[in-house]
Chains A and B, each alone.
Chain A
């Protein structure tokens, strides 16, 4: 017995990487579904399945970084325990070939195997695993599967429903074909609210021993917009940068912005001033941009300057958009005109249009609307 134990620890050590080098998103992935942040409703439903041994097919959808993959992995782990996990769970994601042939062969083969009988058991560290008599196939990023591959799944899901449960995970539920969606019970994952994000970030920073101020956390939350993975990655990058110098410097909000690829506020303000937007700095202090009209050439040279700095077009446009839409004194119909031009530019950029041309185009439209 002791021989086997030793052997197993040895092999597992080979695969475990140094935790200090692990990405924090992996390191702090929830171990149980109770650890999952801010998805109370879903967690409440899933907790019941832990005791009842019954599980429907599931479809998890929601924006990135809300804990979809974490939830299903944690659930599977809690159901089967580390020993049975490998034989009972098949995880496929977009990095695996997932064409129709894989669905027909790999998925079908896995789905039709009857799981080896395993009793509910309690491991020596006192955690009990119910080990229900079915397997789980996790199809991560299912919205990148082709229509054909999805169609091939339909019958498989029904035929082997007794012994296999599917869990589809995706960002856009509309990309999943209707017949598949109707076979699953849907769970929507909502973007994380700021309080649970900040709670989580505080936890991690205290576990990692990095001092961070509240303003930095606030910036992280603003930048990531409910995407927990993003904020954790940014936090890790920032701490890497701060630890790489000797002595470690403090993390500032500016660092976070640079890591996130956000254009600094003063650059955007400057650009907006050229376009004829009055920037209200602080209280009552107004820059007198009235009276000077840069004209076409002024706008063009400003745009060129921005492009040379290497900022991305979509980022510039979205920040400029926020600035103009939230501007306190602009007339509503002007804002509407600006919004129209931003929408046009965004569509064009999605179609792969030239960045410089379209920043210039949007800038000129705004300039015209505000003149």
Chain B
């Protein structure tokens, strides 16, 4: 009994529901002998990994689906041991180097050299190369990316690399210029509705267009989220009729509560209360950037037009400081206080004008 997301995930390029021209392109590339290095990028939940898996299947046939999980130990130059989980089949290997943080260069160097220097032994294999899939490529350190550069050219005969990233901004130019860039955009609303319809049919019931509309709007282009929400709703009320209340995750409602608190009152006591809540969120491992964005989005909805730009401006500033700095809570708090002060000044000014 697996989740619908996994159960109804397309297994081959023909099953994909949207971006047909992209599928045609991938199919054509896979059938030619001349398969390039590739870089898939796009927002999360758009179907990058699904497309990669489908491409692998198109390349190597059923064998690519037979995967096993290995744990490998790497040794850094400073003799530290790193455990890395590796997913591999006979034809490809999948790694997430960001698991090991700063030592990702070691993993990349070792794995790529190993793959590159061994030839495909399976005689019946359709292609002579193996594929290395690197997930979350945008979190690779610069060193690791530099290590990829020359390897990608040198071992082209034995190996192809498929990178998967959310954005190309953090990849260095030499990597980008060596790959075929493949943009996977988030599906449009109609496309998402089609997919929801398809899932519902496979599960043996129909979905109300209005319900579909609501789910799609809530998901913001993230198809994985949409299907998960859909399944959760179905569990709650099997009939899927009547007023739907899409349950927001706890942390989201909590963030909204914080936003409301900021607007209700601006005082040192309130800051202390907000601080307690922020700590609560952080201790539940909600990424601070997400916290900041969710609160900012909520606050912005409730204040005057002239304040909105300023609040976003400071959110952006404190977000980057949070990345550069060390203690997340300082910057979150600083932003909260900044917003309070902006808001209070704004209200105060209006009052004074009215008084005159």
Across-interface contacts of A233 in B (CB, < 8 A): 177-178
Q: Which of B34, B151, B170 has the most CB of A within 10 A?
A: B34
Q: Identify which of B150, B180, B221, B324 contacts A237 (C-beta below 8 A).
A: B180
Query: Nearest residue in A to B144 (C-beta to C-beta)?
Result: A94
**Contact in complex: B149, A315 (CB < 8 Å):** no
Q: How many interface contacts (CB-CB < 8 Å) are there between A and B?
A: 160
Residue B149 contacts which of A95, A97, A300 (CB distance < 8 angstroms)? A95
Given contacts A95-B147, A240-B36, A309-B186, contact A357 B156 (CB under 8 A): no
Chain A binder among B95-103, B315-323, B342-350: B315-323
Whether B313 sits at the interface, judged by CB under 8 Å, is: yes
Q: Is A241 an interface residue (CB 8 A)?
A: yes
A189 CB-CB contact with B under 8 Å = no
Who on chain B is nearest to A367 by CB?
B309
Least CB separation from A349: chain B residue: B169
Residue of B41, B181, B185, B289 touching A308 (CB-CB under 8 A):
B185
CB nearest to A346 among chain B residues: B169
Judge whether A352 and B323 touch: CB under 8 Å. yes
Contact A93 B312 (CB under 8 A): no
Contact flag A310-B42 (CB < 8 Å), given A23-B153, A358-B316: yes
Digitize B150-173: 1 where CB-to-A-CB distance is under 8 Å, 0 elsewhere.
110110110000000001111001
A259's partner among B29, B43, B180 (CB-CB below 8 A) is B180
Q: Which of A95, A101, A315 has the most CB of B within 10 A?
A: A95
Within 8 Å by CB of A144, from B146, B305, B316, lies B146
Give the residue name and chain of the A residue nearest to B158 (CB).
A17
Query: For the complex, is B77 an interface residue (Cβ under 8 Å from A)?
Result: yes
CB-based contact B29/A21 at 8 Å? no
Q: Do A240 and B153 touch (CB < 8 A)?
A: no
Indicate the size class of the contact surface on chain B.
35 or more
Residues in chain A near residue B154, CB distance under 8 A = 95
CA A21 to CA B177, docked complex, whole Å: 18
Determine whether A250 belongs to the interface, using a CB cutoff of 8 Å to chain B. Answer: no
B107 within 8 Å of A (CB atoms): no
Main secondary structure of the interface of B (DSSP, over half): helix
Q: Return the contact of B32 from the options A25, A101, A243, A357 (Cβ within 8 A).
A: A243
Docked CA distance A260–B29 (Å)? 17
Question: Does B183 reach chain A (CB closer than 8 Å)?
Answer: yes
Q: Is B53 an interface residue (CB 8 A)?
A: no
A352→B151 CA distance, assembly (Å): 26
Q: How far is the CA of A261 from the CA of B177 in the complex (A)?
A: 10
CB-CB < 8 A to A304: which residues of B? 220
A355 part of interface (Cβ distance < 8 Å)? yes
Q: How far is the CA of A230 from the CA of B324 in the complex (A)?
A: 32
Chain B residues 168 to 213 lying within 8 A of chain A, measured CB to CB, are: 168-170, 173-174, 176-178, 180-181, 183-186
Per-residue interface assignment for chain A, residues 18 to 62, with 1 indicating a CB less than 8 Å from any chain B CB and 0 otherwise? 001111011000000000000000000000000000000000000
Q: Tell yes or no: A364 within 8 A of B by CB.
A: yes
Q: Is A64 an interface residue (CB 8 A)?
A: yes
Contact of B150 among A94, A234, A259, A364 (CB under 8 A): A94
What residues of chain B lie closer than 8 Å to A21, measured between beta carbons? 33-34, 156-157
Across the interface, do A261 and B169 meet the contact criterion of CB distance under 8 Å? no
Highest count of chain B CB atoms <10 Å: which of A140, A245, A355: A355
Is B5 on the interface with A (CB-CB < 8 A)? no
What does the 1/0 interface line of A221-237 toward B look like (CB < 8 Å)? 00010010110011011
B229 in the interface, Cβ–Cβ < 8 Å?
no
Contact at B147–A94, with CB atoms within 8 Å?
yes
Counting from the closest, the 9 A-B pairs by CB-CB distance are A244-B28, A310-B42, A361-B316, A230-B177, A17-B157, A353-B320, A94-B146, A296-B308, A312-B168
Q: A144-B142, A144-B143 are in contact. List 12 more A-B contacts (CB 8 A).
A: A17-B156, A21-B34, A23-B156, A64-B173, A94-B149, A96-B109, A245-B24, A312-B167, A348-B320, A353-B316, A354-B293, A357-B319
* A-B CB contact pairs (8 Å), 12 listed: A17-B156, A95-B109, A237-B180, A244-B25, A258-B183, A296-B305, A309-B183, A353-B316, A353-B323, A354-B319, A364-B309, A364-B312
